[in-house]
Amino acid sequence: MIDKQTEILKAALRLFVENGFHGTPTSLIAKEAGVANGTLFHYFSTKEELIVSLYVAIKKHLSACMAIEEKSEASLKEQLKNIYITALTWGIDNTTEFRFIQQFISSPYLLKLAPEEIQQKNNKILQLFQEGIDGQIIKNMPIDLINTLVNSHLFGVSQYINQSQLAAQQQENIINSSFELIWDMIAL
Amino acid sequence: MIDKQTEILKAALRLFVENGFHGTPTSLIAKEAGVANGTLFHYFSTKEELIVSLYVAIKKHLSACMAIEEKSEASLKEQLKNIYITALTWGIDNTTEFRFIQQFISSPYLLKLAPEEIQQKNNKILQLFQEGIDGQIIKNMPIDLINTLVNSHLFGVSQYINQSQLAAQQQENIINSSFELIWDMIAL
DNA sequence: ATCATGATTGACTAATCACTCTACAAAAGT
DNA sequence: ACTTTTGTAGAGTGATTAGTCAATCATGAT
């Protein structure tokens, strides 16, 4: 075993998604991670800290994946499409993480996060929205609203793809066309 | 006290949204509802049954509110808009219920529901989507996908409105224009 | 070699919680 | 009036759980 802390987080992720927060005792997490009970509390002083840490870790992972895309020379639409597709692909390739995030943000644990953690650091995308509005490419509305709508859309599509068992071809189709859908919505 | 069962559900709703499922002991629910511990278990044999019952009750309430809208003579777009606005208004007027539903459907309790409970009985809207596709008013795509997208959109807008403190005027604006947004997305 | 620091263990505990049980009260049926 | 059913209460219980602690073990620095 290389890293016990990682093993604990991995086990916790799986169990939380399967059984919910209240359905998974710390003892089970420790057992599944192959560590002793006390070891878990060595790394995370409370169960709540474990849950929040897991969220932060996943968000970090997502941010890392998103950061790869950086092609400023492309058109605004192309740039947004790149970001959109990257995020969507992440959601499809990481269903468990995706479900955990969904569960976490709908739970009261969200309030336990420091406000700056919730804040979208990745304001690159907000910037692009603003550019789009200024350049009269995107409908003039609050960028927070646009952001919320795009996020919801992303969630919806991920959910649809994860739930319905699609052939790779169909899946590819939906991924590609779904950006056009949301674009039709926000574009002038 | 008129109906203890209702009082229990009301207290449970509030506490679950505030503290989550695992953060609210049945004893506290009973206390807040002003009934004895045993009374709770007279009405709901387990905590899980209480949670699921609460979900079903809220869904029933939502359905009742939705059922009022029935104007088949209007255009397809108008009909959809009516349904959309009704749902959105419900989400805004019933934030606690709204948050509970969100929490519930992102939790493993969802799987405890009988499949027919999950199924959208209100397939009126699915019917309208099909009509729209047949009449070449709506883009040709799986109606389940359309449905998911419209629902996500609805969630997003509700969330946005609930979170940001808006003047009644602005709120009204967003409610009205947000349907046009989603319409732009699904319409040909 | 010795020491120090941190990782790891698992038995243990104090508290909590879901749920039970017995008793009683209030209707409701006969 | 009497019996049955249903509602209500709240103390009690056994199981579970988050978190502790004292004791080892591993590692590397001096």
Please tell me the predicted confidence (pLDDT) of residue A132. 93
Check B159 against A153: CB less than 8 A apart: no
Q: From first to last of the 188 residues of chain B, give the pLDDT tens digit.
A: 568 899 999 999 999 999 999 889 999 999 999 999 999 999 999 999 999 999 999 999 988 888 766 666 788 899 899 999 999 999 999 999 999 999 999 888 888 776 666 666 667 888 889 999 999 999 999 999 999 999 999 999 998 998 888 888 889 989 989 999 999 899 98
* Closest CB to B108 among A23, A148, A149: A23
Residue A2 has pLDDT above 70, yes or no: no
A148 and B159 in contact (C-beta within 8 Å)? yes
Check B151 against A149: CB less than 8 A apart: no
Closest nucleotide to residue A43 (Cα to C1')?
Answer: C7
Whole-model pTM? 0.88
B103 shares contact with chain A (CB less than 8 Å):
yes
d(CA A146, CA A120): 14
Best CA proximity match to B164, nearest among A41, A71, A147: A147
Residue A1 has pLDDT above 60, yes or no: no
Check B106 against A103: CB less than 8 A apart: yes
Burial class from Cβ neighbours inside 10 Å (0-12, 13-18, 19+) for residue A86 reads middle
B47 and A46 in contact (C-beta within 8 Å)? no
Which residues in chain A are closer than 8 Å to B153, comparing Cβ atoms?
149, 152-153, 156
Distance of B167 CA from D27 C1′ (whole Å):
63
B69 and B62 in contact (C-beta within 8 Å)? no
A22 shares contact with chain B (CB less than 8 Å):
yes
Q: Is the CB of A47 under 7 A from strand D?
A: yes
B25 shares contact with chain A (CB less than 8 Å):
no
pLDDT in tens, A45-62: 999 999 999 999 999 898
Burial class from Cβ neighbours inside 10 Å (0-12, 13-18, 19+) for residue A155 reads buried
